């Protein structure tokens, strides 16, 4: 595909997969109209970069469907000054969308190879407000807490307590919760230290694997 064809596919993705399905936050639509998703998938899959589904990446993981990225990002209600903690860097695509909308993104990945590749793609695109780390994200990132926003892009049975602890008062945490195969996307707000949860959609994520998650 040529650059022009990819650009057309990107704008069509925003219209058909996001706007037509109720993603209305202008800043999220603009960010996703800008971030070149093809730079986060392997070369042979580039022609499918804007397909309406998740795609395989290395280490048996996936880059989320564009609609799910839009839905999760919109649910974070970013306005610019926030510091975001992301668990599950994967390809780095969601990281790039967050980096367009927030002050800083600390992103944690358990697979060194994925973190490395994502970091290279993000640097090549000029993102300077991303801090990549290789670690077990179920424990969060205590040294950087509190975070105004936390996003988990792998599935857990319950929200790891460390993550809620590291969420700032009034902050928002978005996470897929449920079984190993199917989950519900939840948006949890911290109000007076207590969680207030809302459900966004059903979804399918790869498991969150770690000390406070699933075993491999």
Active-site positions read: 64
Residues of the shown chain interacting with ligand SAH in the complex, contacts defined by CB under 6 A: 61-64, 87-88, 90-91, 93-94, 108-111, 114, 136-138, 153-154, 206, 208-210, 213
CB of residue 159 vs ligand SAH: minimum separation in angstroms? Answer: 13
> Which residue's beta carbon is nearest to the bound ligand SAH?
90
Which pairs from 172-177 meet CB under 8 Å and 24+ separation? 172/75, 172/76, 172/77, 172/148, 173/149, 174/72, 174/75, 174/76, 174/149, 174/150, 174/200, 175/150, 175/151, 176/152, 176/203, 176/205
Nearer to ligand SAH, 29 or 49 (CB): 49
Nearer to ligand SAH, 77 or 214 (CB): 214
Cis ω on the peptide bond leading into residue 182 (within 30° of 0)?
A: no
CB of residue 33 vs ligand SAH: minimum separation in angstroms? Answer: 17
CB of residue 175 vs ligand SAH: minimum separation in angstroms? Answer: 12
CB of residue 81 vs ligand SAH: minimum separation in angstroms? Answer: 22
Nearer to ligand SAH, 88 or 171 (CB): 88
Residue 111 C-beta-side C-alpha neighbours within 13 Å = 18
Nearer to ligand SAH, 29 or 40 (CB): 40
109: β partners: 134
3-state percent breakdown (helix, strand, coil) of the chain, nearest 5: 40, 30, 30
């Amino acid at each position: 595909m040529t650059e022009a064809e990819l650009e057309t596919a990107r704008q069509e993705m925003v219209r058909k997969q996001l706007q037509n399905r109720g993603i209305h936050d202008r800043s999220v639509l603009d960010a996703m109209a800008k971030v070149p998703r093809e730079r986060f998938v392997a070369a042979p899959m580039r022609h499918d970069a804007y397909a309406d589904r998740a795609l395989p990446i290395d280490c048996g993981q996936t880059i989320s469907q564009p609609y799910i990225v839009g839905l999760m990002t919109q649910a974070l209600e970013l306005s610019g000054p926030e510091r975001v903690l992301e668990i599950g860097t994967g390809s780095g695509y969601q990281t790039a969308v967050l980096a367009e909308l927030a002050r800083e993104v600390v992103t944690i990945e358990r697979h060194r190879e994925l973190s490395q590749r994502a970091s290279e793609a993000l640097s090549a695109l000029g993102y300077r407000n991303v801090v990549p780390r290789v670690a077990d994200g179920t424990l969060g990132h205590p040294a950087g807490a509190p975070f105004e926003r936390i996003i988990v892009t792998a599935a857990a049975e319950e929200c790891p307590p460390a993550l809620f602890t590291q969420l700032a008062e009034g902050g928002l945490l978005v996470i897929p919760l449920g079984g190993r195969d199917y989950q519900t996307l939840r948006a949890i707000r911290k109000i007076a230290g207590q969680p207030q949860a809302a459900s966004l959609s059903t979804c399918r994520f790869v498991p969150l694997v770690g000390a406070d998650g699933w075993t491999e």
